[in-house]
Copies of this chain bind each other. A is one copy, B any other.
């Protein structure tokens, strides 16, 4: 249902001027009514919402409820970071199985509050219900920035970067994602990011989404791709290579972004506290291309996790 329904929604929901960027980016950008009249730099609101459901996005019988609560916050914070925004507040809605509802809510909230404290997000409100259904956590995070990073801004010739190391998050990292909130703020201070996206469904898939939104492609130096230790471990038993894991595994929650080529040196000469690796460049021909010789490229295809879930609000 996803693609056709998403198209239907896009067609019907972009009519009012207060929403500058709606369905189709990591988060929505909402304009502040009085902001245009002010002589301050114009702060804009960024809002994203993501729900996770027991049996679909996690399994409560196998995972700690505290971890699940933390992750529900982290995936939303990753979307806010991918917009280059600073998170401010969260609204938290839980639908709880009637049996043990208080205990479940308490454990889930431990993780939610831990993430809130770590990333300085206020829990502004929410809703709690009990029902005859699986645990569902739906979080909206509001943030602010003067100039949001969109998926659409990549320009031909841009240098392409990725944070952290990719692949194998299923071995454990996915339980406690580290959204790149601080790094996004630091990048913002030093360079002009043209486009960004977070890696939720797989590096190649999310890169391809960002480039498609920008109507661009990329030439990649695949040997530079930062491969995580977990991807190597996973490869030992999966029958796939570490590179394949880095290329397609979901839930890395790293950032992919691009800047003008003349800013690449600033990024490469700065200690960001987290690895930030140059992996290729944005090109005018669409698709992903890997270098196979000095000036020869072959088409490669994105691969990743397309869930039974439609992210309406650019919440990939």
Contact = CB atoms under 8 A, between A and B. Distances in A.
A9 B132 CA distance: 23
Main secondary structure of the interface of A (DSSP, over half): mixed
A206 B162 CA distance: 52
A192 interface: no
27 contacts: A1-B130, A12-B109, A18-B122, A19-B89, A23-B125, A30-B88, A30-B89, A34-B38, A37-B40, A38-B40, A45-B142, A47-B91, A47-B124, A47-B140, A47-B142, A48-B91, A48-B125, A49-B91, A51-B93, A51-B127, A57-B129, A124-B313, A126-B313, A127-B309, A127-B310, A127-B315, A128-B311
Interface of A: 1-2, 4-5, 8-9, 12-16, 18-19, 22-23, 27-28, 30, 32-34, 37-38, 40-41, 43, 45, 47-51, 53, 55-57, 88-89, 91-93, 95, 98, 101-102, 105-106, 109, 113, 116-117, 120-134, 136, 138, 140, 142, 144, 308-315
B122 A13 contact: yes
A134 B314 CA distance: 24
Contacts of A309: 127-130
A299 to B, nearest CB: 31
Contacts of A32: 32, 43, 144
Contacts of A41: 34
Contact of A101 (B1, B9, B45, B117): B1
Contact of A56 (B8, B102, B131, B140): B131
Contacts of A109: 9, 12
A306 to B, nearest CB: 13
Max chain B Cβ within 10 angstroms of own Cβ: one of A4, A57, A125: A125
Contacts of A57: 129
